[in-house]
Structures are given as C-alpha cells and as structure tokens.
Chain A
Amino acid sequence: MSLAVPNGLDNSVERPGTRAPLVLGESSYHSITEAVCKIAENPPSKLWVISFLVAVHLATMLGLCIAYLFYTGVGVWGNRNPVFWGWPIVNFVFWVGIGHAGTLISAILYLFRQEWRTSINRTAEAMTIFAVVCAGTFPGIHVGRAWLAFWLAPYPSLNLWMWPQFRSPLLWDVFAVSTYATVSLLFWYMGMVPDLATFRDRSKHPVRRAVYGVLSLGWSGSSRHWMRYEKAYALLAAFAAPLVLSVHTIVSFDFAVSQVPGWHTTIFPPYFVAGAIFSGFAMVITLMVPARSIFNIEKLITIRHLENMCKIILTTGMIVGLAYGTEFFIAWYGQVTEEKFAFINRAMGPYWWAYWTMITCNVISPNIFWWKKARTTPWIMFVVSIFVNIGMWFERFVITVTSLSRDYLPSAWAYFEPTWVDWAMLIGSFGLFFTLFLLFCRLMPIINMAETKATLAKELHMAHKDAH
C-alpha cells in the first residue's frame, strides 16, 4: 500500500476543490517509519556532533554564570535602579513566547483541523518544553535567593507561618508557567507514546528496548486504546489552547496591572499572545528549515508546511503591528502626560535604536511574505525568521527597559546597560535550548509517525476514490 506523489510536485499550489498532498514522494506507512526512526537509529552525523558540542559548551557557560550569580548575588547583572527588570525578565518573556507556537501548532491547529500540523507538531511541542525550561530558569534565578524559590509554593510552612500573595501577578506567573510546563509535557509525552512504541518494536539492543518499552507504557495500538487516546488528545488540546492564551496573558499582566507608563495598557493580553505566536513560529522555521534538509525529511516537512507557517508569521506580524499602532494612538488620544511621554521616549528616546530594530524586524520584515516566492524559498524564510526572533527579543527589551528607565520620577532616570553576565546568560540559554533540542533529535521520534500515517491513509483513500 503506497502512494506515489511526484517528488518535484509543488504542493504549495492548491487548486480550489482539491487538496494538495502533505506527504511527497513514494511513501508508504513503512517508509514513514523508516524515515523517522533512522534519524535516531543511525550514528550521529558530524554536523550533529559539532553542533552538540558547541551547544553543550554554551549551556555549561550558562551553568557557570548561574553559579557565579549565586555566589556573588544579582549585582552581577546590569539590573540597577530604576531598571530592576533587566535582561533576565526580557529573556524570560522571550523564551515563554517562543514556547507558545508549539502548543499552538499541536493544540489550536488540531482543533481547527489543520492537517498540515501533523509532521511539525512534535518538534514544535519539544521546542515548547525546551523553551519553557529556558524561560523558567530566568525568573527562578531572578528571585535573588534562588534556593528559597520554593517559598512561592503555597505550602504550610512552620518557619514562615504565612502564605503566598495571590493578588500578585508574579505569583500568577508561577502558577501559569508551571501549569504550562506540566501540561505541555503531558501533551508532548502522550503524543509520543505510540511512536515510542514504534521505537521499542524496532530496537535491537535489549537496553534500548527496555528503556523505550518502559517509556511507551506497553502501548499495543488497540482500537479501544486509540479511541480513548484520541479523546484524551482532543481534550488536552482543548485545555492547552486556552492555557497557551492564558500563559502569555498572565505574563502580560505582570506588566499591565502596574501603573508604569507604557506597561499599563489593556491591549497587552491579546497583543502579547499574538507576539508569542509570532516569535514561536519564527523559531519553528528557524529549526525546521535546517533540520528537514539535515535529516532528509523534506518529503514529510514540505514547502506547503513551511508556507503555511510563513502565512501565520505574516498574520501575527500584522496583528503585532496593529497593536503597536493602537498603543501609540491611544497614548496620544488618552492625553495622559506620562503615557504620551513613554511612547515618544520609546521611539525617540535613548533607546530609539532598540525600538526601530523592533519595528524593522517585526513589522517590516515579515511583509516580504506577501510574495509567494518568499514564502516558498527556505533560505528567505530562514533569514526572516531570524529577524523576527531578534525583533521579538527587542520587543520585550523595549517594553521592559524603556518604560522602567524613564518612568514618573525623572530624578531616577538612568540608562540601562547589560553586563557580560547578561550577555553570557542570553547566549547560554540558547546553548541550553539547542542542547536539549539536539538530544531530542537523536533520542525521540521527531515527527509524529502515527499522525502522519493517518494523513497518508486519508490521502490514499482519496487517491483510491479518484481512481474509481
């Protein structure tokens, strides 16, 4: 049972009334299994080893920086009066945002029956988990005495005899991010169980077989199991979709419930969510474009998949642009002196360079995706996705730093400057992210085989019907 779609077919073109194939080339269920499993079964390529070594070194640098921070104190950062939320919080919001595309692809696109999600959702979910790991690191070490971070948990403490402060957005954050990490992990793991069973059944080495055997929980593929499994998947998707919205909404509350000019604006929740999706999809493209050619899975992650992601980047980029505009307009329309100043200061103040970097990267650069040529050329989208990543980092920088560095009290105004530890930690967090991601590529099924096979089955069915 196999389906032959010409390899060179441009599946980014879809004639209304038909649906373009999502799996290209000569494919059967078995060929999908082979293509995906081989990535983990074959010995690692040189490129992988080199990238892994680099990533591990950077991650180690992050670890050392954290050790240095613990030993010395948070003064090693550039956080000074009045900018007490400096790079660590910028990095936190940046990484949480990156994570959101994973949940969006797996949950929201699932609910909207977008079948093109099937071959990218696994990687995207993994990206979510790793991004949340990176994100969680920063507020964790930002509390100053990180060894006391457990005080955030509402546990009955004999020493303190008090409870956390539930009216504070920072505590909401704790709950939101930890719930998000947990649910994403469940979702990711649950989606992986059938594929881990495939790994188990293909393993020759007893240890490997035992490990994958335990991880796959004895999955057999029974129809009854599948039925409950699919229901559970749909339910988790339905929970994860509002969850992903709520997480970045709550992150935006951290800023927006305050009275700091430039932070307190009601559009923050949807605007942050759109921004998060925007940056997350950019990160998926940044990862997918090289990965699909390195691991030889262009037939599964086709141009159509990439094009759709580009369209989402374009859409969310426009939403973000509209939100920037609205903020500016309302700052003027509202006629509150401080608010007006905050926005003029963003664009024309000492951080004008950050602001215009942000605008260029986030609002202007995605516009290239209006052209189909750009949406279907991997290197262009790779470049744009890098721009968007940079732009979204700067967005958080602009929001956090410009507002704090010049708020109500001009005598306290100051210019924020990062220290080398800030830099090292930002770079190191990428190291941590890529270390985890590269490990994932080697150890786990990076494409959801079961779902891709189901998509293939549908296409087989359609082809069969057309033949008659």
Chain B
Amino acid sequence: MSETKPAPKTVADGNTVHGVVAEFSDVDSLLAACERVRDAGYTKADAFTPFPVHGIDKALGIKPTVLPWIALTAGAIGTCTALTMQIWMNGIDYQYIISGKPYISLPAFIPVSFELTILFASFGTFFGMWALNGLPRFSNPMFTSPRFDRATDDTFFLFLDAKDKRFDEAGAKVLLGDLGGEFVEPVVEDDSPKKIPSFLLIGLALVIAFSMIPALLVARMRVTKSSSPRFHVFPDMDFSPAKDAQQISTLFADGRAMRPDVPGTVNRGELDWDVDFQTGIDMEKLAQIDAPRARQLVAMMQSDTEIGEGDGEVAGEESPAEEAVEEVTEEPQTEEPAAEEPMADEPATEEPAADEPAAEEPAADEPEAEMQEEPESVKEESASEEPTAEETATEEPASEEPAAEAPAEEMAAEEAPAEETPAETAPEEAATPAEAEPPTEKPAAPASLAPASGPTVDTTPWLTENPLTVDAEVLARGQQQFNIYCSVCHGMNGRGNGLVNQRAQQILATTWTPPSSLHDQTLYQDAYPDGKLFSTISNGVRKMPGYAAQIRAKDRWAIVSYVRALQASQNATLDDVPASQRKALQAKQAEVQAELEKAAAKAAADAQQSAT
C-alpha cells in the first residue's frame, strides 16, 4: 500500500499539537486498533476513512446522532406550514369557489402538504447533518500533512485528540505504534495564512454593490410616477390584433372578420341527417309547395348547426328556429287582417307569412286545386318580392342548389312509409280551420290566449306523426324531459300553471304572457300537428323561448309524444284503463265524488250562512 516514505515531519516549535495520527492499510487492523484505543480510555479518538466503516461507531464508542429528531421536527414544521398556508390563502384570505369544492378542501391540500413535509424534512436532514458535523470547515489541522490526502483514497487514519483527558503525546505515539499504525506523527496547527485575500473581498463587495442596482431601480420606479405609457418588456397581449366577430376587418378580402362555411359542403358526421326529424316539417312537400323556403331552411341548417353529443344528433338549429318563430309569432297578429284581405296585405313580410294567406282563401273550399297552384304562385312571389331572401340564396346559387336537394332526396327514400301525397294532406290542412272553431266556444284557461286560437291557416306541411316509435321508454323519457324543461311554466299537468306562472301572477308581472294550457283543443293533434308542436318546442312561440339548444331533437320528439299522452289523459274513458285496474279506479272515483259532494254541500251551507 505504502509508497516512498517521506521523512517524518518535524514539529515546528510554537505550533500547537492537536494530536497524534497513525495510518492503517486495512479495515480489520483499524477496527482492532479503535477498540484498543477505546478500551485504553480515550473518548475523543477519531478515525478517518475513505468510506464508512461498519462497526466503527461501536469500536470508537461514538454515540448515536440526534439527526432523526431534527428531521422529524423539520418535517412536522413543513406539514403545519403547508396546511396553514393553504387554509389561510385559499380558505380565509382569498376565497373563491373552484369546481364546486369547499374553500378548505383537505383532500386537495394533502399533496402540497406532503411535498412541503418532505422538503422541510430534507432540508432539516441535509443542513442539520452539516451543522452537526461542523462543516463546511476549510481549515483543518488534519489537512496539513500531505499524507492525509490519501484518507479519501485508500488509507485509514486513527487520530488521538490532544483535548482528550488521557492524552500525552509520547504515550499516544507509543500506543498507536503498538497497534500496528504506520507513520505515527503529530498533527500540528494549520500555518497557512488565515486572512482572506483582499482581491476576494473587493470582488465580493463589487458583486454585492452591482447586484443592488436592479433592486434599487425597481424600488425607485415603484415610488415615482410617469406620464409615458407602460414599458413593455414583453408585449403580452397588449398589442394583439383582436377582432370582433361582427366587425369589418381588413384581414380578409370580403371584409369579414370570420369565415363563413364553405358552401356546398356537408359537415363531418352530418351526412345522414334527417331534415324532417330536425324541423318537424315534411321537407319534400315543402319543396313542392315552397321550394325557396325549403332550400333556405336546409341551407341555413347546414351552416348554423352544431353537432350534439354522442351520436351526431342535432343539438340546436337556429335557422329553422328563426324562420318558424317568425311564422308563429305572426299568427296572432295576422289573425284579423288575414280574414279580410288575404293576399294584398302581406307581400312585404317574409315568405312564411306570405304563403299563409296564399293558402288561406282556397283552403276552405278547393283544396286540391290550390295545392297545384300554390308552388307557382309562391315562386313568383319570392322571385319578385323577396329580395332579401334571394340575396342570400343567390350568393352561391350553383353550389347551394345541390346541397339543398340532396338531403331532401335522401329523406324521401328514408321516409318512404311516412310519405303522404299532397292530396292526402290537403284535406287535413283544410280541416284545420274548421276544427279550430270549437275552442272559441270552450274558452282556454287563460283569457289572454284567446287571440292565438283564432282561425289562422298554416300551409306548412308539418309532420303529422311522431317520427319516433312511441313506446313506454320514449314516453318516460318525454315525461322526464317535460318535467325538467316544460313543467316550470306549463305545470306538471300541462294546464299552464307552472311555478313560474304562479309566481308571475303573484307579483302581478305586467309583461307576463301566461303559458298556454296544453289541454286547449287548438293544441290537439288534429289542430296542431306533431311537427308543429315540435317546431314550437324547438323555436318557441310568443314569450316562450326555443329549446333547440338545450334539448336534443330526439328528446323534443319524446316530449311531443308525452304531451299527446297528457292530452289523451284528459279525454280518457274507462275503456282506456286496463281491465284489472278498473275496479280500483271506480272505487276511487266514487270516493272522490263523495268528497266533492260533501265539500259542495258544505260550501253551499257556508254560503247560506254568510248570506244570512
């Protein structure tokens, strides 16, 4: 192990001797020596080894360290700091709700608490260890001997400290020599200069001075005011070219800030759309009697629709919404003039309104003839008198045309069983005003509804049948959706007295239009086809907003089916009840009847009493 032997260092006079050190070349002899030294009564002996020697603590009698306690304390402080910090910052000082969690959300505070516990405990361990070891310490008498450089390589040193009570230099040297130590020599004071070189001090002072400059600058800026605009180190979003959707922009040649959809294209996943299903209108028929409107409906649907969840259904369609809203809102207004001057009065209004009067006159007596005439007359009208509608249509007429027709054709194929000839629908349409009469005799619940029940004629070929196969599941779904969306105004029973209406009556809201009772006969299937009801749900009527955005088309149809069921429930006879339940029902009826009679008798008695 040993190389050339340098002459043992002579001890310069006046230098303090810190102790005596000896070298060992292997672990076992070192351990044996340590044990002997310990047994000889030395308590301040120390060994210097290139790696931790297992068992040397016992051999030297070194006591265990308090480090774990430091770590534990630091860790506990970390936990408390983290919890206090989070509870105070998010729970007390700056409260705001995020994702519905309480201000003080302990589960959410645990990760940070854990991290800070570990961080603090690690700091405690790391710095605690160096502090306990008295490090960093760059001036160590042990380092004075060049031989000691090998303490970090392959040599083991045993050191007897002069501070030890038992220490005497000569005796220590003999002891170490006896134990097999080589190069036994005293450890003397480190005689290298202790003064820190001045260039280091000056350098340090300069660094500190320069590092103050930015801090001072910031501090100065904090207290002074300036009229010049803010200094933008990073532009952030200060100069970002933001555009409003409706503004004119120079970004695109046509001056728009947003791009319209590419005409003639179909959005992904929309190919199999069923326009009838989405609008409640038999499109093929509409195309025959009012081609531009049909085209417009389809085109607008394609440009404005979004895809709903999951299976690519439509969640909302604004375009037919607008269309139909106009149409239905027209109803009460056109009520009176429609009866007197059907044609002349209307041309200025939009086409849906325009075709109403067109259909009105002949509807009563010559349905078939009218149906043939109508398409032509409407075409003429729209060509001549509808510049606004035409404008949008003519913008890209070539490409829009096929887009409008393709779905219609597809639909025709799909809807084959539901298809009806114009001849079949016409009488039905014609029957509408006739059958709409009774409501005037049997007034609807809220008086203000009366105008709506006037005889208006609607030629739109509404779907007369619910395209869904109505079964218990659909009805249950419809009921659920009805109860969620409709019942707030229309009431659970559909009589138009939902909670919102009750409240409106209570506070005597002046602008409130009471919701219709769904049991009004004008809203029955024969007077108000399923498609129309669907369209009303989708697009709203009067004060009622459209629900196309909230309720999926399928569910709207389910609601339609449920409304029909509700209506049927009011006209049900005992025959509709399953045989097994009839008895119970009759019994119940008798009971209720008796109660009613009793109540009536009592009321009569009361009235008499009060009268007298």
Contact = CB atoms under 8 A, between A and B. Distances in A.
**Taking the complex as a whole, does A directly touch B, i.e. does some CB pair lie under 8 Å apart?**
yes
Interface of A: 1, 28-30, 33, 70, 145, 147, 154, 162-169, 171-172, 175-176, 179, 182-183, 186-187, 190, 194, 197-198, 200-202, 213-214, 217-232, 235-236, 239-240, 242-243, 246, 250, 253, 337, 408-411, 449-451, 453-454, 457, 460-461, 464
7 contacts: A163-B89, A164-B89, A167-B101, A183-B119, A223-B48, A228-B67, A449-B50
Report the 6 A-B pairs with minimum CB-CB distance, sorted nearest first. Answer: A29-B154, A232-B129, A163-B89, A217-B136, A201-B149, A172-B111
A29 B152 CA distance: 10
Given A163-B90, A166-B112, A410-B310, A239 B118 contact: yes
Contacts of A147: 233-234
Nearest to B309: A408
B310 A223 contact: no
Contact of B98 (A33, A167, A214, A457): A167
Given A166-B108, A223-B56, A228 B133 contact: yes
Interface stretch (B57-65, B272-280, B325-333, B542-550): B57-65
A219 B119 CA distance: 24
The listed residue with most B CB atoms (<10 A of its CB), out of A175, A182, A219, A228, is A228
Contact of B26 (A1, A176, A220): A1
B41 interface: no
Given A182-B119, A198-B50, A408-B309, A30 B153 contact: yes
B115 interface: yes
B62 A224 contact: yes
Interface in B22-74: 25-28, 46-54, 56-57, 60, 62, 64-65, 67-68, 71
B125 A167 contact: no
Contacts of B269: 410
Interface string B286-314: 00000000000000000000110110100
Given A163-B93, A202-B149, A253-B111, A227 B62 contact: yes
Indicate the member of B94, B108, B157, B310 with the most A CB atoms within 10 Å: B108
B51 A454 contact: yes
Nearest to B111: A172
B150 interface: yes
A458 B6 CA distance: 31
Interface string B468-507: 0000000000000000000000000000000000000000
Contacts of A461: 27-28
A250 B150 CA distance: 46
A179 B116 contact: yes
B98 A453 contact: no
B57 A223 contact: yes
Contacts of B98: 165, 167-168
Contacts of A457: 27, 51, 53
A232 B152 contact: no
B128 A232 contact: yes
Contacts of A226: 49, 51-53, 56
B126 A224 contact: no
A250 B118 contact: no
A175 B78 CA distance: 13
Contacts of B567: none
Given A29-B50, A179-B118, A337-B310, 18 more contacts: A165-B90, A166-B112, A167-B105, A167-B108, A169-B111, A171-B112, A179-B116, A200-B152, A217-B130, A220-B48, A223-B47, A231-B68, A232-B67, A239-B125, A243-B115, A246-B114, A410-B312, A449-B50
Contacts of A222: 46-48, 133
A227 B65 contact: yes
B136 A218 contact: yes
A145 B234 CA distance: 9
Contacts of B25: 1
Interface stretch (B12-20, B137-145, B372-380, B596-604): B137-145
A197 B1 CA distance: 20
B67 A166 contact: no
A166 to B, nearest CB: 4
B223 interface: no
Q: Tell me the interface secondary structure of chain A in the complex.
A: helix
A183 B122 contact: yes
Contacts of B50: 29, 33, 194, 198, 221, 449-450, 453
Interface string B228-244: 00000110100000000
Interface in B153-176: 153-154, 157
A58 B49 CA distance: 43
A202 B143 CA distance: 13
Contacts of A164: 89
B306 A411 contact: yes
Contacts of B94: 162-163
Contact of B90 (A1, A166, A179): A166
B277 to A, nearest CB: 18
A175 B133 contact: no
A229 B310 contact: no
A163 B88 CA distance: 10
Given A166-B90, A194-B152, A226-B52, A179 B46 contact: no
A449 B65 CA distance: 25
B27 A179 contact: no
Contacts of A410: 269, 307, 309-310, 312
A218 B135 contact: yes
A198 B150 CA distance: 8
Contacts of A225: 133, 135
B121 interface: yes
B248 interface: no
Contacts of B90: 163, 165-167
A139 to B, nearest CB: 16
Nearest to B150: A201
Contacts of A217: 130, 135-137
B116 A175 contact: yes
B52 A450 contact: yes
Given A162-B94, A198-B152, A450 B51 contact: yes
Contacts of A1: 1, 25-26, 154
A167 B122 contact: no
Contact of A223 (B46, B71, B119): B46
Contact of B153 (A29, A220, A235): A29
B53 A166 contact: no
B585 interface: no
B62 A221 contact: no
A448 B587 CA distance: 94
Contacts of A198: 50, 152-153
A225 B52 CA distance: 9
A259 to B, nearest CB: 10
Contacts of B26: 1, 460
A110 B122 CA distance: 17
B151 A231 contact: no
Contacts of B46: 222-224
A38 B211 CA distance: 39
Contacts of B109: 166-167
B85 interface: yes
Given A223-B62, A337-B310, A176 B115 contact: yes
B312 to A, nearest CB: 7
A218 B152 CA distance: 12
B132 interface: yes
Contact of A70 (B64, B65, B234, B310): B234
B36 to A, nearest CB: 15
Contacts of B136: 214, 217-218
B192 interface: no
Contacts of A451: 51
A226 B112 CA distance: 33
A28 B150 CA distance: 14
Contact of B138 (A145, A179, A213, A240): A213
A179 B119 contact: yes
A180 to B, nearest CB: 8
Nearest to B102: A167
